[in-house]
Structure 1
């Protein structure tokens, strides 16, 4: 609305003064009318009326997610649109876009649009939308037309185990050209852009739900013991194949009072795959001894001494079995199962070293035959249970 300054005047007594006053008044009225006609032909009528984002039922029903929250992270949260106003009758189109927001604000309008248009099953995966952009920009085009562009940008996150897991992102929109006098074009363009963003999320979730680890809901652990032919540098544990003195091919790195020494250990390798939304963790466990780091002195190659070294190897196997028992779906987190497995492996490795030291201390490195027999029974009994 164009505003004008009010004109103040003082009445003058007398016939001549009255005539002169009437003449001046007529002149002012004529000037005002002329200015009004000139200005209306030059400027468009401003229209800052907020846009009403209409609700509509979206053309799909989510089977993998519901929208738990929408977080507004737009750079400009005050205005959604900059629109060219409709010109007044007989006037030229405006070249200046005016700021226009959604009725109730951008964030509230979007939340209401989702609430009314999208079926929400809270038993499904909770998704957070981070709204990066939601805008409409218009500018003058050729032949008195107006060119518009609606843009929507969102990032989608999964709420899982108290953390936000980034899933995917979307940016898209709609372009349009309208006549200067045509209305009700901007809101449908924005609404279509929002529908396309949510359709993208639904399609992505349906495609990725069964195989994407970020969307997995449970874990399953599968263990395999590594069994291989004896190599020149490694002997892998096998119950049916006990150690032989021929497996001790190394030499002491420094003078030792012991008759023999063995270097046993265990390790694991892991791979994972997602099948029907479950992370299958496949762990390959290797229990082994290194011949080049294990040795025996001449004159001590008897069965009793070999049994003592075998029990060192058996202890490693025992710890490896305990480690496998610890790694269950109940202690694993879908979000970070690797760290949990690694932690328990380190703890098991520490337990292995402590048990080896205890074994040597109580048997006095095999010299205490009574203690040795007790350890023989203890180890055999526990291994049999596994």
Structure 2
């Protein structure tokens, strides 16, 4: 409307210029006012973010995507006019040219040239708002609020890393404009620098940022030995290990060996080091032998049950070593392989007892002895 009024005045002055030459001075005055009026309208136009690179070059990440998740995406600024305002003066909206998501992605790509050899990060805009309000004495207060979330991009589920929230306040007098673009640009840059500092500090030790997985196996043991025997080639079963009272049935002896593991995780230089202490164990309190059945032949049969569990434990290790464990779900793979090993252990134990008729078939027992020794020799 200001431009329309000025245009009308210019036309009227032109019509009467020849009759009233002093009015030429008025035209000059109006011409001098035009730049100020134009300046007053600059913030009405969409904001254009000026591109500039960050003062530091990130070495741990690049921005793969920017998403706009604000509740109100209609604008980024709600401003009061630079003319005299009252308590009922309405704010007017100003948005970023091309929209916040596209413009900020372009701005970020220039600030941080994408290096796709680094970790892909998604910047989620949760809040981005500048609102001006009228203060006493004819002053105007502006408050900028920004909330960003940074996620690590994964093939399936992205991993949330950290949030960045900040606010800043400025004051201006009526008739004076504030450089909204510079405030917005510097606030976004501060958020990127904050995240860069955080990821540099966390890169080598934060499991969310790990780049790979390394398995380290040991055989679990306890000293001194208690009720539980942990498998060792140097520690075969002895009849004095059979502590339980015999139960009903036709068998001469029984053991209950099993498999388990303890897990300890540490992050070293961005690699998840998984220490798995494999437990091949047999509880004495669950092992029994009938009176008169404590022969070397029977003890060998029970020892082979323990040996079978050791074989399964080694297969469990080999299966894990053959897989590429993902850093975001390595425990899922370990658990699945463990359950599969446990199932295989039970199948093999049943097969051993069935084929040897629980040790009463000496020929089948000898075949299993050789088969087990061959497996253990690997």
Task: Judge same fold: TM > 0.5, yes or no.
Answer: yes
1:16 is matched with which residue? none
Structure 1 residues 310 and 230: CA distance shift in structure 2, 3 A? farther
1:356 has 2:349 as partner: yes
1:50 is matched with which residue? 46
Match of 1:306 among 278, 299, 303: 299
Q: Matches of residues 20-169 of structure 1 in structure 2 within 5 Å?
A: 48-87=44-83, 92-95=84-87, 96=89, 97-169=91-163
CA shift for structure 1 position 75: 0.9
1:343 is matched with which residue? 336
Structure 1 residues 104 and 184: CA distance shift in structure 2, 3 A? farther
Q: Matches of residues 325-336 of structure 1 in structure 2 within 5 Å?
A: 325-328=318-321, 330-336=323-329
Match of 2:266 among 264, 273, 277: 273
1:259 has 2:252 as partner: yes
Q: SS of the residue aligned with 1:299? A: coil
- The runs of at least 4 aligned residues of structure 1 exceeding 6 Å deviation read none
CA shift for structure 1 position 151: 1.6
**Whole-Å Cα distance in 1 between the matches of residues 322 and 143 of structure 2?**
50
- Relative to the length of structure 1, the TM-score reads 0.84
Q: Quick check: which has more Rg, 1 or 2?
A: 1
Deviation readout 1:102-124 (Å, 9 max, x if unpaired): 22222222122112222221111
Count of equivalent residues:
340
Structure 1 residues 230 and 264: CA distance shift in structure 2, 3 A? farther
Q: SS of the residue aligned with 1:327? A: helix
- Relative to the length of structure 2, the TM-score reads 0.86
Comparing 122-131 with 141-150, which one deviates more in the overlay? 141-150
Q: SS of the residue aligned with 1:257? A: coil
CA shift for structure 1 position 232: 4.0
**Whole-Å Cα distance in 2 between the matches of residues 186 and 250 of structure 1?**
82
1:175 is matched with which residue? 169
Comparing 45-54 with 192-201, which one deviates more in the overlay? 45-54
Contact map agreement 2:125 2:148 (CA 8 A) in 1:
yes
Deviation readout 1:52-71 (Å, 9 max, x if unpaired): 22222211111000000011
Deviation readout 1:131-183 (Å, 9 max, x if unpaired): 11111111112332211111211111111233211111111132111222222
Contact map agreement 1:66 1:121 (CA 8 A) in 2:
yes
2:181 is matched with which residue? 187
1:367 has 2:360 as partner: yes
**Whole-Å Cα distance in 2 between the matches of residues 82 and 212 of structure 1?**
40
CA shift for structure 1 position 230: 5.5
1:236 has 2:213 as partner: no
CA shift for structure 1 position 363: 0.9
Structure 1 residues 185 and 130: CA distance shift in structure 2, 3 A? same
Q: SS of the residue aligned with 2:52? A: coil
Structure 1 residues 230 and 384: CA distance shift in structure 2, 3 A? farther
Structure 1 residues 384 and 230: CA distance shift in structure 2, 3 A? farther
Contact map agreement 2:172 2:178 (CA 8 A) in 1:
no
2:216 is matched with which residue? 222
Contact map agreement 2:46 2:97 (CA 8 A) in 1:
yes
2:32 is matched with which residue? none
**Whole-Å Cα distance in 1 between the matches of residues 315 and 102 of structure 2?**
55
Q: SS of the residue aligned with 2:312? A: helix
Deviation readout 1:274-294 (Å, 9 max, x if unpaired): 111111010011111111111
Contact map agreement 2:78 2:130 (CA 8 A) in 1:
yes
Q: SS of the residue aligned with 2:53? A: coil
Query: Can you give the 5+ residue segments of structure 2 that lack an aligned partner in the other structure?
Result: 6-39
CA shift for structure 1 position 209: 0.8
